[in-house]
Structure 1
Amino acid sequence: MTDLYQHEGSCSSSTSISSDRSETDNDRMIAVALSQEYANLDGAVGRRLSSLSSIPHVPRINSFIPNINEASHDHQRLTQRLNVYGLFEVKVSGDGNCQFRALSDQLYGSPEHHKYVRKEVVKQLKEFQTVYEGYVPMKFKQYRKKMTKSGEWGDHVTLQAAADKFGAKICLLTSFRDTCFIEIVPHNQPPQRELWLSFWSEVHYNSLYELQDLKIHYKLKKKHWLF
């Protein structure tokens, strides 16, 4: 939507910049405060799924969106896998930001820092363009600009950029018939932590935890709101 008045647009831009800076500062403060406690959860899901074999990850943009019937069957398959491995999903909003919300929940214990996560991923794409541009079948500047917009779906390229930026191995429990488990590992550095997401039918991500960690997760999430 365009602004009705130029003056209002200017004020809105100034307010937005101030708000963005405040959000960024808050996210960094929260990350420092929670990192030590949240580190205790790292690897819990990995131990539960240690018997699974992963497939190599190939970064790619979104291309295929399943129809309703396919998506419904995929959801049933994912639910069965979650039950088998004793996992629960922290469900995030399906507003186009779900990948970044799920990553935010894994990193900071809350999906509400998705804007910060998206900004950091876009910075990574810009700074290391030569690493990612070969996976994008369009002008990379156009792709990067598109990814700055709230509501723009994340893809397997942004997952790789997130793994690289945050030094994390990102593990996906998927709904795919022939691909249960995908690992995205950071380039040029060993992973410092694991982030676990569920991935449903190419259209939605959620954050994953073991059932036994349910109380710990929500205790940390409640503590976040004290800041």
Structure 2
Amino acid sequence: MSEQQDQVSKSSCSSISTSTQGSEDDGTVGALLTEAKTNGRSLGKRLSHLDSLPHTPRVNGKIPDFSNATIDHESLLERLGTYGLAEYQIEGDGNCQFRALADQIFRNPDYHRHVRKAVVKQLKEFRKHYEGYVPLDYKVYLKKMKRSGEWGDHVTLQAAADRFGAKICLLTSFRDTCLIEIVPRDAAPTRELWLSFWCEVHYNSLYANEDLPTRKTKKKHWLF
């Protein structure tokens, strides 16, 4: 998911690379995952008293209008402050979900292409697990999701949880619940990934205040 209404122009499409390059990318992802295993730090204790919303994979919903989006953002910021959490601001270029996941997995949002490729591979290889949640031709959906700049959704989040063996925890701006947990379908999670979700607008990578990275993003993060 990237970021809002007429203020967003999607970046040009780039296709998944050749099979040779794909093998190299798979090896790179494996090496990075091995290195990144020790990087995670769970925020779960801070929010352990909260009830999480059961997750149902779905494609993106309607983008809120400016007024509702502003209210939602204020609600999210209030929740972050309540629990001593901070956002590592992710670039709003259409790849924010994948960038935020890459930051949590690899501590580097620039690996978003690796994450997208892994997610699309999961969606393709285990089609029967996901196609029932996609209300358009599944091949068309896969073709769209290959493209850099195509917004991620709750189907891609489920595929990411399955592919990386991770519980993905979303602190959201939804008014009826603030926590959504997405767990792997067939295995116990080996890590937790924490994202903030400004609903239907933007994802950021989430940290405790004291652990927020000081590294700089290359481009301006998402703002209205």
Distance in 1, matches of 2:26 and 2:113, equals: 9
- Partners of 1:24 and 1:105 in 2: how far apart? 18
Render the CA deviation track for 1:169-204: whole Å, top value 9, x for unaligned.
Answer: 101000011121111111011111110000002110
The 1-side partners of 2:154 and 2:197 are apart by 11
Q: Name the structure, 1 or 2, with higher relative contact order (CA <8 Å, separation 6+).
A: 2
Other-structure match for 1:85: 83
Counterpart in the other structure of 1:117: 115
Runs of 4+ displaced beyond 4 Å: 16-27
- CA-to-aligned-CA distance 1:14-67 (integer Å, 9 cap, x gap): xx658776665544433323322x04x1x2x11111111101011100131101
Long gaps (5+) in structure 2:
1-14, 218-224
Give runs of aligned pairs for residues 1-227 of structure 1, distance below 5 A: 17=18, 25-36=27-38, 38-39=39-40, 41=41, 43=42, 45-214=43-212, 217-218=213-214
Which one-letter code corresponds to 1:149 in the other structure? R
Cα 1:189–1:22, aligned 2, differ >3 Å: closer, same or farther? Answer: closer
| TM-score (norm: length of structure 2) | 0.83
Aligned length: 201
SS in 2 for 1:113: helix
AA paired with 2:132?
Answer: G
Structure 2 Cα separation of the partners of residues 54 and 204 of structure 1: 20
- CA distance in 2: counterparts of 1:191 and 1:53, whole angstroms: 19
Q: Please name the residue that 1:4 is paired with.
A: none
TM-score by length of 1: 0.82
Instruction: Output the aligned Cα RMSD.
Output: 2.2
Q: Secondary structure of the equivalent of 1:107?
A: helix
Structure 2: how far apart are the matches of 1:129 and 1:22?
24
Give the whole-Å Cα distance in 1 for the aligned partners of 2:117 and 2:73.
30
